[in-house]
């Protein structure tokens, strides 16, 4: 059976990984004044975005694929190329993509038969839309698990059961570099996770809030001093999580900027070494344009699956 995987462009995975595994990306359009970017995880477009420091613009607007656009993508291409497709989306609490994909699926499943028959495929087509209930690097963890199981020849039903069991145990974290940007974007969206007092104190004392995504909820779970020290604390935390045991063999890390800056951060090389020794695949990528426009340049994100626990 030909199994396909669709993710939205907020899902952070290395460009080569997406290409080599045939992952299909649902683009998200970014509007910055008179400029418009289509975030389809194109590496050249992403580099240009960061090179011009456009991630620091707090006035950006995002527009995900509409119901009709998702429907057309499937009917024009995916129902022919695959027999079963998993569509993993950004947290439904943060984006309408899950709703759009779910609503599009009804039309797709009722209209695909003549299209497949015309292409010479007589068997049925099916798809599963999954709310990852998380953001950015955390989305990549579930996508990597679908890729792994597909490579191993698992059935769609086994993959579905596995993914749905992992969603409640998926942790995503984000460490911002620029609190002003994060607060401005949050205020624009009506998000009170970074209030005025927190922003004022954080700016004065160089305190960074560590924000966690978990089961469709996002909010600060720790206050860490100085960005580089805070990043080192996060990497040390990840090393301990690896030693405690993860529920998948993949750990995803993304950075809103040039990855050479990430590699220089204290603790990152040790994290790489521990992951390698432990048989954990560390997938490191540049954060999507979609993610960066919301959390600012220099933000660090990471995700993994593990039994319930707290940061610390």
- What would the two tokens of residue 70 be? 């998702």
- pLDDT number for residue 210: 93
Tens-of-pLDDT digits for all 312 residues of the chain? 999 999 999 999 999 999 999 999 999 988 887 778 789 999 998 998 898 877 766 567 788 999 999 999 999 999 999 999 999 999 999 999 999 999 999 999 999 999 999 999 989 999 999 999 999 999 999 999 999 999 999 999 999 999 999 999 999 999 998 765 566 555 555 555 555 445 444 454 578 889 999 999 998 999 998 999 999 999 999 999 999 999 999 999 999 999 999 999 999 999 999 999 999 999 999 999 999 988 889 999 999 999 999 998
- pLDDT number for residue 163: 98
Rounded alpha-carbon distances, angstroms, from residue 43 to 3, 35, 174, 186, 289: 25, 18, 22, 27, 10
Q: What is the spatial distance between Cα 275 and Cα 270, in angstroms, rounded to a whole number?
A: 8
Q: What is the spatial distance between Cα 266 and Cα 39, in angstroms, rounded to a whole number?
A: 30
CATH architecture of 3-166: 3-Layer(aba) Sandwich (3.40)
- pLDDT number for residue 185: 56
Q: What is the spatial distance between Cα 99 and Cα 219, in angstroms, rounded to a whole number?
A: 22
- pLDDT number for residue 201: 46
> 132 and 142 in contact (C-beta within 8 Å)?
yes
- pLDDT number for residue 271: 98
Global confidence as pTM:
0.92
Domains of the chain by residue range = 3-166, 169-305
Report which of 178, 206, 196, 203 is spatially closest to residue 293, judged by C-alpha positions. 178
- pLDDT number for residue 49: 87
**CATH number assigned to the domain covering 169-305:** 3.30.1180.10
């Amino acid at each position: 059976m030909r199994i396909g995987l669709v993710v939205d462009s907020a899902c952070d995975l290395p460009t080569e990984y997406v290409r080599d595994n045939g992952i299909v990306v649902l683009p998200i359009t970014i509007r910055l004044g008179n400029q418009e970017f289509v975030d389809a995880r194109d590496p050249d477009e992403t580099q240009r975005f960061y090179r011009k420091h456009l991630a620091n613009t707090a006035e950006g607007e995002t527009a995900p694929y509409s119901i009709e656009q998702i429907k057309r993508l499937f009917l024009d291409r995916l129902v022919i190329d695959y027999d079963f497709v998993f569509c993993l989306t950004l947290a439904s609490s943060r984006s309408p993509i899950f709703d759009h994909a779910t609503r599009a699926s009804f039309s797709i499943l009722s209209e695909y038969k003549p299209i497949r028959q015309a292409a010479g495929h007589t068997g049925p087509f099916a798809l599963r839309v999954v709310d990852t209930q998380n953001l950015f690097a955390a989305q990549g963890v579930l996508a990597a698990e679908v890729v792994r199981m597909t490579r191993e020849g698992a059935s769609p039903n086994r993959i579905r059961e596995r993914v749905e069991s992992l969603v409640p145990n998926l942790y995503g974290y984000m460490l911002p570099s620029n609190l002003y940007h994060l607060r401005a974007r949050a205020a624009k969206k009506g998000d009170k996770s970074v209030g005025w007092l927190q922003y004022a104190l954080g700016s004065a004392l160089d305190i960074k809030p560590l924000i966690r995504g978990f089961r469709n909820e996002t909010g600060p779970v720790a206050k860490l001093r100085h960005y580089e020290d805070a990043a080192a604390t996060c990497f040390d935390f990840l090393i301990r999580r690896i030693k405690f045991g993860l529920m998948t063999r993949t750990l995803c890390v993304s950075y809103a900027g040039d990855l050479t800056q990430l590699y220089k951060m204290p603790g990152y090389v040790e994290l790489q070494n521990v992951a390698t020794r432990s048989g954990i695949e560390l997938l490191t990528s540049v954060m999507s344009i979609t993610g960066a426009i919301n959390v600012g340049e220099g933000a660090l994100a990471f995700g993994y699956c593990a039994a319930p626990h707290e940061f610390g």
